[in-house]
Amino acid sequence: MLSFDIICLAKSTKHGGICIAGIKTDGSGWLRPISNKRDGTLYPEHYTTKYGREPQLFDIIRIPLIRHEPKCHHPENWLIHYSYKWQILGQASLEQAQGLIKPEIQKNSSEPKLLGNFDKFIRYEDLEITPLKSSLAMINPELLEWEIRYNSKNKKTCRCRFCLCGNFYDLPITDPVWINKVNYLEEGIYSCEEVIEKLKLENFEPDKFRLTISLSEPFQPSLQTEKELCYKLVASVINVTDITKRLGW
């Protein structure tokens, strides 16, 4: 049976289920396990271990797989094996964080392009011509802010505003844990200091936030004449100080 061990660095909402992704512990890059459901969405029967546990950020997960199924917008996709349960082997060590995660953050934070361009989306037709080398990235954002606002359907939404080497991004958040935290805030734009203070977040430091960015499935905006777009999403929000305390590094 084919399997890979990954450090879970993204667990985000997707079509009523979730999307999980992580860096392989052998150093060979990112992996996104997918099911045979719509757009590869994962549901509890796919990712729950035989002990009833769900993977969390920084867990090391052993995932049984069938084959690599890359797409032009998601080259990291691997189809999961349905006859075997996932295993949680433990949590990432400090050595793994320094050897695998830190270089990933440094690489992606050293230039203003995010997943290949300066925009908040990539045109799917462009990806069909030139497939992405990676649809996932961890970054150290600059001038980070959090925005709570209501959309046209009067639903509260959470967004992340930041700069990367001087280029500004304004992206939606799909990390359910972070969304649950900031949903207590009223409409407005908040600095990291304000979020930590208002939500009384212990062991969080304003300059220690790191983000996992993922590209969405192709989506056609409301106007039928428009092309399909793949949007950039904040798939996980991590605070280094919080993780260090919780994992005992």
Please state which of the four CATH numbers 3.90.120, 2.40.50, 2.60.40, 3.30.379 is assigned to the domain occupying 2-94: 2.40.50
Intervals of CATH 2.40.50 along the chain: 2-94
| Confidence band of 12 (pLDDT split at 50, 70, 90) | very high
How would residue 206 be classed by pLDDT, with cut points 50, 70 and 90?
Answer: very high
Q: What is the pLDDT of residue 224?
A: 59
89 sits in which H/E element: strand 87-91
pLDDT > 70: what percent of the chain? 98
What does the pLDDT look like over 72-130, one tens digit per residue?
Answer: 999 999 999 999 999 999 999 999 999 999 999 999 999 999 999 999 999 999 999 99
Q: Give the Å distances, CA to CA, from 247 to 51, 60, 91.
A: 21, 12, 7
The arithmetic mean of pLDDT across residues 20-35, rounded, is 98
pLDDT reported for residue 221: 78
- Among the ranges given (9-23, 169-183, 214-228), the one the predictor scored with the smallest mean pLDDT: 214-228
How would DSSP label each residue in 196-249? Answer: HHHHT-TT--GGGEEEEEEEPPPB--SSTTSPPEEEEEEEEEEEHHHHHHHHT-
Residue pair 223/19 in contact (Cβ under 8 Å)? The answer is no
Q: What mean pLDDT is predicted for residues 144-149?
A: 96
Question: In the prediction, which pLDDT does 210 show?
Answer: 98
Confidence class for position 24, pLDDT limits 50, 70, 90: very high
Beta pairing, strands 2-14 & 17-24: antiparallel
Residue 84's contacts (CB-CB under 8 Å, 6 or more residues apart) are: 1, 64
For the chain, how big is the Rg over CA atoms in Å? 18
Across residues 183-198, what is the average pLDDT?
97
Flag whether the pTM goes above 0.85.
yes
Q: Give mean pLDDT, residues 2-31.
A: 96
What is the pLDDT at residue 33?
A: 98
What pLDDT was estimated at residue 215?
98
Tokens of 112: 């203003």
Confidence at residue 154, expressed as pLDDT on a 0 to 100 scale = 82
Residue 147: which residues within 8 A CB-CB, separation 6 or more?
Answer: 158, 159, 160, 161, 170, 188, 189, 190
pLDDT range class, residue 226, cuts 50, 70, 90:
confident
- pLDDT confidence of residue 152: 74
Output the pLDDT for position 10.
98
Q: Is 157 exposed, middle or buried (0-12, 13-18, 19+ CB in 10 A)?
A: middle
Average pLDDT, the chain: 95
Cα separations in angstroms, 233 against 65, 68, 209, 224: 25, 23, 16, 23
At 179, is the pLDDT very low, low, confident or very high (cuts 50, 70, 90)? very high
